[in-house]
Structure formats: C-alpha cells, structure tokens
C-alpha cells in the first residue's frame, strides 16, 4: 500500500453513488437528479419505461455492505408514494484493491484502485 490519503465517509459515499449512477446509465435509465449529500434521501432520481424511481444508496468499507435503515425506508416510501415513484435500495461495498490484509482492504484510498461489491437495485418495501 502506498502513502495515499484514506477516503473519508463523504468520499466513500460519493464513490458508491458513482458506481450506481454508471450502472443505471449503462442499463439505459434516464437519470434525472443525483444528490451526493449523505443526509438527503433518495440520492438518485431516475426514470425507466415511464416510471419514476427513487434510489437510496448506502456505501460501506470492506467487508461490510451499505445498510438501509427502517426509518429511512419508511420516510422515502412515504415521499415516493406522493410522487407515484418506485423505491429501490443500492447497497455498495468498497475495498482497497491494493490491500493485502483485511485491515488494509478496509481502507480505500483517494485515487486508489478498488474492488466493488454491488449486486444491483433491490426494491423496497417488499
């Protein structure tokens, strides 16, 4: 591992948003708005086949994955219902690809190489 700067929570969160954004664009979704602030939900507004999508993104460091808290899900669901939107959750895990131990992999670095764990959008509530 080099002497690069470790990502702070905001940088990690924004990297997760960029992963989800790229996936949406690659799949042909129309992305209408992206908010990088951690305290704003949903982070991504998109449209697919005429349907509005509210996408909540949570990102965590290796070995963890982002978690959708029940109170966040409830709040976004109410907001989405008012706009006839469908809710999705995107859980992202980021690992430092240059790390040789679990401890090093848990410290992604700014401008570093990454392993990304992202399994796509999960609808909520289920």
- CA–CA separation, 59 vs 31, rounded Å? 19
pLDDT digits (tens, 9 = 90+) for 10-54: 999 999 999 999 999 999 999 999 999 989 999 999 999 999 999
Average pLDDT of the chain is 95
The pTM of the whole model exceeds 0.85? yes
Within 10 A of 53 (CB to CB), how many other CB atoms are there? 22
In 1-126 the beta strands, taken as DSSP E runs, fall at 30-34, 44-48, 51-61, 85-96, 114-123
Q: Show the domains of the chain with their CATH numbers.
A: 9-123 (3.40.1350.10)
> What percent of the chain is modeled with pLDDT above 70?
97
């Amino acid at each position: 591992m080099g002497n690069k700067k470790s990502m702070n929570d905001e940088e990690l969160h924004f990297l997760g948003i960029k992963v989800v954004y790229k996936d949406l664009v690659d799949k042909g979704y129309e992305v209408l708005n992206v908010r990088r602030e951690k305290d704003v939900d949903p982070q991504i507004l998109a449209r697919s086949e005429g349907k509005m999508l509210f996408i909540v993104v949570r990102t965590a460091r290796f070995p963890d994955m982002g978690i959708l808290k029940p109170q966040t899900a409830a709040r976004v669901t109410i907001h989405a219902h008012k706009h006839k939107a469908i809710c999705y959750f995107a859980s992202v895990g980021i690992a430092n690809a240059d790390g040789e131990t679990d401890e090093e992999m848990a410290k992604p670095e700014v401008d570093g190489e990454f392993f990304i764990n992202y399994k796509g959008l999960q609808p909520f509530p289920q």
